[in-house]
Amino acid sequence: MGNIAEFAEPPLPIYSSQDLERRYQRIGTLSISGGLGTVEKALDIELQRFVAVKHPTIDPSYDASAMQREAKQHARVDSIPGIAKIYAYGLEENVPFIVMEWIDAPTIADRLKTGSPLSLIESVMLASDMSWLAEEMAKRGVIHADWNTKNVFWSKENRIRLVDFGIAVGVIDRQQGAAGTLSFVAPEVLDQRTPNLFSEQWSIAAVVYASLVGRGPFDQLESSSLPLLRGKISGKRTRDAIIEGKYTPLANNEEFVQRLRRIDEPLSQARERARAIDAVFTQVFSQDSRDRFPTIQAFVQALQDACGFTDEEIRTPRFPLEESDDRVHLAHIVKTFFPNQRE
């Protein structure tokens, strides 16, 4: 992969505080907060569409230029299908903001909160989409570095939309310390090494695991006497589990094994399938990144094989076969207003 600096930065509209107030009508009651910022839903008055307006969370260590770097990283990859669109960057009373696509779909985390994990085939589709996105972004010099269940939206059509480039490689100086969401961070990133496609493989696999059972593969509770989904996750114990490689096997999760069981199938056969899936995750979660799969796509293929799905069932590759929304919309405009135009 080339150096980040080798990639040209696409133009991005820069808005003032007046532009923001004139063009966007805030819907403040629908604001949600994230780790590095607050996102509000707003109406783009000119284009009559909903957008998301993101402001950073201000603290004494806040670097005002960080959000501008985030916007540039995001703009470099937002033409890739599956990446949320970014529309503009600007300053509101000297506080930066980003205007981007509002996604009318739940996140993976939202889905899990309902007590409804993804099905096995949905999780493999999720893995397929995430792996393709990660490798496409890497071709443009961007490593997302924060794959987690809150940053991945899951649509009714079983397609993903990825958001939040706040700590993508090139956005935050990696010497400032490890960044990311603990349950999904590879051990080498916790050791403050620069994220790459091998650490992305770890994080994507952790999201897939969580989508199946509702928690991360290394999550540990403050109190081991409580059921995991009802207790509070211990940051220190989870971090120690990641560093020590204390993976929680799926074959030990009776509820998951029961969900794997097919009609008229012995429970032992479902448990054997869970062990095959565990073998894939065990390789991904190797402490030494050199022992993981050679590519993220190789991990997805191994997972697909362990689950017993064909390419036709997973519909791989899923994104490259479809035109982006912008291209489809542009084609519609051309046909409507220029009916005699040759294609």
Domain count across the chain: 2
pTM recorded for the entire structure: 0.82
Q: How far is CA 244 from the centre of its chain?
A: 25
Q: Give pLDDT, residue 227.
A: 41
Q: Are residues 162 and 277 in the same domain?
A: yes
Cβ neighbours, 10 Å, residue 138: 19
Instruction: Write the CB contacts of 235 (distance below 8 Å, at least 6 apart in sequence).
Output: 182
Domain boundary among 68, 101, 134: 101
User: For residue 139, which phi and psi values (nearest 5 degrees)?
Assistant: -60, -25
Domain boundary among 35, 69, 101: 101
Cβ neighbours, 10 Å, residue 229: 12
Cβ neighbours, 10 Å, residue 86: 26
CATH number at residue 179: 1.10.510.10
Domain of residue 220 covers 108-314
239 falls within a domain: yes
pLDDT higher than 50, residue 162: yes
Lowest mean pLDDT among 99-108, 132-141, 169-178, 195-204: 169-178
Q: Give pLDDT, residue 180.
A: 76
Q: Are residues 219 and 258 in the same domain?
A: yes
Cα–Cα distance measured from residue 246 to residue 41, given in angstroms and rounded to the nearest whole number: 40
pLDDT higher than 60, residue 271: yes
Domain boundary among 101, 134, 168: 101
Q: Are residues 258 and 202 in the same domain?
A: yes
DSSP run (H or E) holding 88: strand 86-92
Helical ranges in the chain per DSSP H? 17-23, 66-77, 108-113, 120-139, 187-190, 197-213, 235-244, 254-260, 267-284, 296-307, 311-314, 325-337
Cα–Cα distance measured from residue 158 to residue 125, given in angstroms and rounded to the nearest whole number: 8
Cβ neighbours, 10 Å, residue 176: 11
pLDDT higher than 70, residue 336: no
185 falls within a domain: yes
For the chain, percent of residues with pLDDT exceeding 70: 76
Q: Give pLDDT, residue 168.
A: 76
User: Which amino acid is residue 262, in one-letter code?
Assistant: R
336 falls within a domain: no
Q: Are residues 154 and 303 in the same domain?
A: yes
